[in-house]
Amino acid sequence: MISPVPHPKHPTAVWTKADASGQGSDCIDVAKLGATMGVRDSKRPTNDILTFSFTTFSAMTEALTLS
């Protein structure tokens, strides 16, 4: 699902709800931000974001999937 709320520092980024968020209310949005992946709280989409290299983001999502 695409989030319609842009981030002030990344107004052209396409934010999508993370697949692992499921149907609950504790969700995160993710977006490709140039050479990094951005992660934000879907309930506070204009607050600060975390950024990860593609390698780190991939390793993190794989580790979370295995746990």
pLDDT for 9-61, tens place per residue?
A: 999 999 998 776 666 667 889 999 999 999 999 889 999 999 999 999 999 98
Q: How many helices (H) and strands (E) does the chain have?
A: 1, 4
CB atoms under 10 Å from CB of 36, counted, come to: 16
Q: What is the pLDDT of residue 12?
A: 93
Domain boundaries defined on the chain: 28-66
Q: What is the pLDDT of residue 9?
A: 92
CA distance 67 to 56: 17
pLDDT for 7-23, tens place per residue?
A: 999 999 999 987 766 66
Nearest to 12 by CA among 26, 35, 37, 33: 33
Identity at 46, one-letter amino acid code: T
